[in-house]
Structure 1
Amino acid sequence: MSVLGPASACPCGSGLPYDACCGPLHRNERAADGVEELMRSRYSAYVVGASDHLFRTWHPRTRPLDLTPDENLVWTGLEVVDVVQEDTDGVVEFRAHWTWNDQTGALHERSRFEVRGGRWVYVEGDTRDT
């Protein structure tokens, strides 16, 4: 896992330092308060290589067996488009920008989350055309 300094800007784009944003979630010091915070922390986990956080926050019914990242894929920015949260489920629509080899693009997804064991977890997502 790539470790960011405590004062480094959080990769999720919140404008907060990593240690005041996604860092405590990656280190399992606390759980996400809602679906947007969890989605942002999951994006940041891809950026810094915190695959244990991805595993822990992915519903076991839909979680893939292999979470090994593509070493050539670099996540370059996150744009949250829409957030809908209710008591035990929610949806976040986002665009996650990337570079891969010499190509650039964005993953546009509408992700579904639910509460499981008192914690928010990612269930699944539907990709959109960008």
Structure 2
Amino acid sequence: MSHNHCPCGRTSPKGQIPSLDECCGPLHRGLAAPCAERLMRSRYSAFVLGHVPYLLATWHSSQRPAELTLEAGVKWLGLEIRQHRVTGADTAEVEFVARFRVGGKAVRQHERSRFVREDGGEGLRWFYVDGDVL
């Protein structure tokens, strides 16, 4: 994958991979995610890029850790969105599989994450609340 391509794995209807600037970059710079799936994808990209401030800013205040240290030496290999389900007017779930390698070991993180949309100070925004490992 080119450095210009967004790491989130989203493709256009024609199968093209958008650049980071066309995809998750605007969200990382403050644009509100239009849905929970896009927030999930932008959070994955933030993990890949080591963008800790964005990860903390998009974590719901009820669950947000005081600080976040990313594990060193992680090589992110891909994200697959299995399901995006709207569960209420301002709630949604995203089931995903994120693949990465750490210390020579391949890891598959399969999770169902919960998201909520509420006023984030600049209008309605989606936030990651928590998730269940599947």
Separation in 1 of the partners of 2:35 and 2:74? Answer: 27
Q: Name the amino acid aligned to 2:53.
A: D
Counterpart residue number, 1:120: 126
- String of CA shifts for 1:50-106, please: whole Å, max 9, x gaps: 111111110011111221101122221000000112420000000000100110021
Aligned-partner Cα distance in 2 for 1:45–1:121: 14
Write the letter of the residue equivalent to 1:40: R
Equivalent residue, structure 1, for 2:58: 57
Are residues 1:40 and 2:41 paired? yes
Equivalences for 1:1-40 in 2 at 5 Å? 8-14=4-10, 15-28=17-30, 30-40=31-41
SS at match of 1:60: coil
Q: Please, what is the CA RMSD of the aligned residues?
A: 1.3
Unaligned runs of 5+ in 1: none
1:124: how far off? 0.3
How does the TM-score come out when normalised to structure 2?
Answer: 0.87
Equivalent pairs counted in the alignment come to 122
Moved over 4 A (4+): none
| CA offset digits 1:14-72 (Å, max 9, x no partner) | 121110000011111x1100010000000000000111111111001111122110112
Segments of 5+ residues of structure 2 without an aligned counterpart are 11-16
TM-score (norm: length of structure 1): 0.89
